[in-house]
Amino acid sequence: MTKTLNLSRPFGNRPKGSLAFGSARRGLVALGAGVLLALSPTLAAAKELNLYSSRHYDTDEKLYSDFTEKTGIKINRIEDKASALMKRIGAEGANSPADVLLTVDIGRLSVAEKDGMLQPIKSDALNKAIPAHLRDPEGHWYGFSTRARVIFYDKNKVKEPPKTYQDLADPKYKGMVCTRSSSNIYMLSLMSALIEHVGEDNAKAWAKGVYDNRARDPQGGDTDQLRGIASGECAIAVSNTYYFARALRKDVRDLSGKTDTIGIVFPNQDTFGAHVNISGGGVAKNAPNKENAIMFLEYLASKQAQTYFAAGNDEYPVVEGVGKSASVSKLGEFKADTQSLDKLGPNQAKAQMIYNEVGYK
């Protein structure tokens, strides 16, 4: 059973260490690549997990109910924006009931790690299932699905679309490019990746060139950038793949039905590959149910859970052998950037500084 908690009401007080987690852990039966999938009903009878999540997708309900069915562990869930959840964990301090934090983008996970909200864990199952560049070397966080930040363009207006991120700064695209605000976490992570690949000076020149090529001042979310192409306001836009895939799967206002006129470019296929980021999570620093938290993360890396987790937001699964959803498959294959995401967190402040220096709003 999954229980979504009222944000205005705190969890009840429960003494830490009151459950015999060690014996429960030894009762696990692993399936596939050593990933947890079963637990003795007797051992799990009184177990629970306190999940703080910024995810809010219908398919997650199946994800949580399957975990409870397999383990007997009840999930108590708090959902909110990542910033609100992280502020809450910080305010709760050592008495925080949070066991697991789930959120999106390496930028947020890096802040959570830096601010001491996550603890390192050791899990052979997670290390085996999740590629090294999509997890923290010390086990503070793990990526469970990916999204690529790519280039979209109007097929009717742009006959030679940009092939690389660097091309977005080419003066021939002046007055065509739409993006989000430079303070957006996705834009900061893209800049952080470019700093790693091309250096600060080139990244700064890129930011100035892209801003000079703007069709309008940066505004709105990723879906708004795609709507800008559909409406004719933008000829080129930068967006995460899942926003477009979502419009292929279901009705998205002012976008669905117009996707045939929008082309997609996975940038830098001849060099470092398209920038990818993650939806991921880690075990909270003061988790009262640490063993259950580790079990839950291991479950998210199982092939069954990967299908729910990735498809819920039209993202790519991270575990080898797990198929993509129909909407994501329509986007085509691409070469992804495989630089370790743990390098990007430290670049976030530098990325914002560069944007500010060139006047990128």
Rounded mean pLDDT, 168-173:
98
Neighbours of 10 (CB within 10 A): 14
Q: Is pLDDT at 52 greater than 70 in this prediction?
A: yes
Mean pLDDT of the chain, nearest integer? 90
Task: Give the model's pLDDT for residue 56.
Answer: 84
Note the CATH number of domain 2-144+278-325: 3.40.190.10
Task: Give the model's pLDDT for residue 58.
Answer: 82
Neighbours of 59 (CB within 10 A): 15
Cα(132)–Cα(154) distance, rounded to whole angstroms? 36
pLDDT tens for each residue of 255-296 = 999 999 999 999 999 999 999 999 999 999 999 999 999 999
Fold: same for 2-144+278-325 and 147-275+334-357: yes
Rounded mean pLDDT, 85-94:
97
Task: Give the model's pLDDT for residue 34.
Answer: 42
pLDDT tens for each residue of 298-354 = 999 999 999 999 999 999 999 999 999 999 999 999 999 999 999 999 999 999 999
Q: Is pLDDT at 60 greater than 70 in this prediction?
A: yes
Neighbours of 226 (CB within 10 A): 26
Residue type, 16: K
- Provide the residue ranges of all domains of the chain, joining segments of one domain with +: 2-144+278-325, 147-275+334-357
Note if the pTM is more than 0.75: yes
Note the CATH number of domain 147-275+334-357: 3.40.190.10
Rounded mean pLDDT, 225-233:
98
pLDDT-based confidence at residue 59 (cuts at 50, 70, 90) = confident
Contacts of 328 (CB under 8 A, 6+ apart): 241, 242, 245, 310, 311, 314, 315, 316
pLDDT-based confidence at residue 359 (cuts at 50, 70, 90) = very high
Q: What kind and span of H or E run contains 53? A: strand 48-53
Task: Give the model's pLDDT for residue 298.
Answer: 98
Sign, CA torsion 25/29/35/37: negative
Q: Is pLDDT at 55 greater than 80 in this prediction?
A: yes
> What are the angstrom distances between the C-alpha of 333 and each of 177, 243, 265, 330, 336?
24, 17, 11, 9, 9
Q: Tokens for 223?
A: 């879906």
